[in-house]
């Protein structure tokens, strides 16, 4: 008998939060999206019209650029966000500072933090989590499975048993040198995912890459961001530069440019990113389904 009462009390305690969560579950109408990947997913699952503001990393789709901007995701400030009267803030993990997040939660705004991992599973989990946060679970599930199917198809087209192309991801910062995507970088994850071998090893994250190391590793294919391509003046200019000239990639002209967020975002456009990267790695086997999104 006593045990039964205890069970009742526990159930009651569990039930209360459940009830309050169900009360919250009616779709938020004023969402603030923090993180470029979160914004892309919200637009992709049809929740874009509910977004009232984004952060500076949200640069896709074009509609996101027209929205009010609350600043960089890690330097948010509480008052301007509260002034927009949001009823839900959906933020990628690592948004901050912590004190500001604490004040936002204290102000009674629903706040959801979305975990972030640079892998296919991570991206699919991210899509489902964002969809759940935006109360569009079904749209999210459908979108995640379509992405998953496209990725499977793209990876199935990668020929097996063949030597993996030696690839290098580069981007330029201002007029300075070029930064390469080393181990544990999202560029490294994408290269491996699409069946390539990253030659920028021995360091983690994005670091300036030494020109001689580039010659020694001799990349077959060089991947750059579109901004970097524009800054360097196009494929022919890059091929003519002495640090590139002797590499196989420069000799054969295999220098490709992608939108940085498409390639490295691990969000709504992951399938498109993988399709185009596999096509760049294995031009004779893989075919992308259309232009980059």
Helices 120-133 + 36-44 axis angle, to 10: 70
Nearest to 249 by CA among 285, 225, 277, 280: 280
Is there binding between residue 149 and other proteins (CB under 8 A)? no
- Peptide linkage before 61 cis (omega within 30 of 0): yes
Looking up tokens 């074009």 gives: 62
Q: What tokens were used for 97?
A: 């500072």
- x-or-dash string of contact with other proteins, 83-102, rule CB under 8 A: xx---------x--xxxx--
* Min CB(100)–other proteins separation in Å: 7
* Min CB(209)–other proteins separation in Å: 12
What single DSSP character describes residue 268? T
* Min CB(43)–other proteins separation in Å: 20
Q: Write out the H or E segment, with its range, that includes residue 148.
A: helix 137-156
Selected from 1, 26, 79, 284, the binder of other proteins by CB under 8 A is 79
Contact 186, 266 (CB under 8 A): yes
Selected from 10, 15, 27, 77, the binder of other proteins by CB under 8 A is 77
Selected from 59, 103, 125, 213, the binder of other proteins by CB under 8 A is 103
Q: How far apart are CA 207 and CA 204, in angstroms?
A: 8
Is there binding between residue 80 and other proteins (CB under 8 A)? yes
Is there binding between residue 235 and other proteins (CB under 8 A)? no
Selected from 78, 125, 132, 215, the binder of other proteins by CB under 8 A is 78
Of residues 193-232, those binding other proteins (CB under 8 A): 204-208
* Min CB(246)–other proteins separation in Å: 26
What single DSSP character describes residue 25? T
Which residues does 93 contact at the CB level (< 8 Å), separation at least 6?
113, 114, 115, 116
Is there binding between residue 65 and other proteins (CB under 8 A)? no
Which is closer to other proteins, CB of 265 or CB of 288? 265
Which is closer to other proteins, CB of 10 or CB of 93? 93
Looking up tokens 């196009």 gives: 234
Which is closer to other proteins, CB of 86 or CB of 273? 86
Contact 39, 54 (CB under 8 A): yes
| Interface with other proteins: number of residues (CB under 8 A) | 31
* Min CB(80)–other proteins separation in Å: 3
Which is closer to other proteins, CB of 12 or CB of 98? 98
CA angle, 101 as apex, 97 and 105 as ends, to 5°? 170
Is there binding between residue 72 and other proteins (CB under 8 A)? yes
Is there binding between residue 139 and other proteins (CB under 8 A)? no
110 to 131, 195, 236, 280: CA distances (angstroms): 15, 41, 51, 42
Give me the residues that bind other proteins (CB under 8 A), please: 53, 56, 68-72, 74-75, 77-84, 94, 97-100, 103, 106-108, 204-208
């Amino acid at each position: 008998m006593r045990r039964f009462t205890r069970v009742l009390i526990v159930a009651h305690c569990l039930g209360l939060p459940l009830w309050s969560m169900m009360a919250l579950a009616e779709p938020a109408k004023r969402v603030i999206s923090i993180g470029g990947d979160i914004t892309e997913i919200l637009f992709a699952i049809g929740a874009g019209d509910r977004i009232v503001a984004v952060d500076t990393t949200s640069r896709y789709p074009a509609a996101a650029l027209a929205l009010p901007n609350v600043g960089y995701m890690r330097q948010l400030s509480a008052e301007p966000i509260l002034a927009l009267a949001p009823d839900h803030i959906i933020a990628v993990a690592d948004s901050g500072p912590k004190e500001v997040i604490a004040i936002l939660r204290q102000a009674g705004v629903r706040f959801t933090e979305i975990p972030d991992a640079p892998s296919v599973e991570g991206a699919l989990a991210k899509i489902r989590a964002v969809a759940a946060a935006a109360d569009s679970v079904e749209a999210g599930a459908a979108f995640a499975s379509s992405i998953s199917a496209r990725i499977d198809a793209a990876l199935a087209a990668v020929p097996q048993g063949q030597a993996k192309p030696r690839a290098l991801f580069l981007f330029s910062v201002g007029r300075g040198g070029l930064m390469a995507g080393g181990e544990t970088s999202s560029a490294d994850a994408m290269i491996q995912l699409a069946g390539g071998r990253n030659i920028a090893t021995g360091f983690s994250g994005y670091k300036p890459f030494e020109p001689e190391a580039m010659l020694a590793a001799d990349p077959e294919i060089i991947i750059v961001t579109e901004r970097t391509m524009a800054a360097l003046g196009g494929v022919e200019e890059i091929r003519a530069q002495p640090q590139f000239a002797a590499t196989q990639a420069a000799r054969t002209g295999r220098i490709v440019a992608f939108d940085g967020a498409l390639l490295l975002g691990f969000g709504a456009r992951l399938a498109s990113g993988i399709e185009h990267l596999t096509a760049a790695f294995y031009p004779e086997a893989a075919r992308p389904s259309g232009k980059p999104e």
